[in-house]
Chain A
Amino acid sequence: STSSLESNLEGLAGVLEADLPNYKNKILRILCAVARLLPEKLTVYTTLVGLLNARNYNFGGEFVEAMIRQLKETLKSNLYSEAVYLVRFLSDLVNCHVIAAPSMVAMFENFVSVTQEEEILQVRSDWYVYAVLSCLPWVGKELYEKKDVEMDRLLNQIDGYLKRRQKVHVPMLQVWTAEKPHPQEEFLDCLWAQVQKLKKDRWQERHILRPYIAFDSVLCEALQHNLPPFTPPAHSDEALYPMPRVVFRMFDYTDAPEGPVMPGSHSVERFVIEENLHCIIKSHWRERKTCAAQLLSYPGKNKIPLNYHIVEVIFGELFQLPSPPHIDVMYTALLIELCKLQPGSLPQVLAQATEMLYMRLETMNTTCIDRFISWFSHHLSNFQFRWSWDDWADCLTVDLEKPKPKFVREVLEKCMRLSYHQRIVDIVPPSFSALIPAEPQYHYKYGDESNSSLPGYAVAIAVGNAIKNRASNEEILTTLKELPNPNQEEDDDEGDGFNPLKIDVFLQTLLHLAAKSFSHSFSALAKFHEVLKTLTESDEGKLHILRVVYEAWRNHPQVTTVHFPCTRISLPRLYTARFSVLFYVWEILHSTIRKMNKHVQKIQKELEEAKDKLEKQQHKKQKDSGDEEDMEKNSEDEDGQLEEQIERLQEKVESAQSEQKNLFLVIFQRFIMILTEHLVRCETGSVDINTCWYKNCIERLQQIFLMACELLPACLPNACSGIACEDSSVASATAASVRSRRYSVRKMIMKQQEPRQHSPAITRTGTVCVCANGTEERGEDETNQWLELSQITIIIKTCPAKKHGEDVCVGVFPHWPAATLFIQGIVIRGGGHENDAVNGNNGHK
Chain B
Amino acid sequence: MNENLFTPFSTPTILNQPATIPIILFPAMLVLTSKHPINNRLATTQQNLTQLILKQMMTTHNAKGQTWSLMLMSLITFIAMTNLLGLLPYSFTPTTQLSMNLAMAIPLWTGTVMVGLRFKTKNFLAHLLPQGTPTPLIPMLVVIETISLLIQPVALAVRLTANITAGHLLMHLIGNAALALSTTNLSLTLLTSTLLALLTVLEIAVALIQAYVFTLLVSLYLHNNT
A and B are partners in one complex rather than unrelated chains: no
Q: Footprint of B on A, CB under 8 Å?
A: none
Q: Footprint of A on B, CB under 8 Å?
A: none
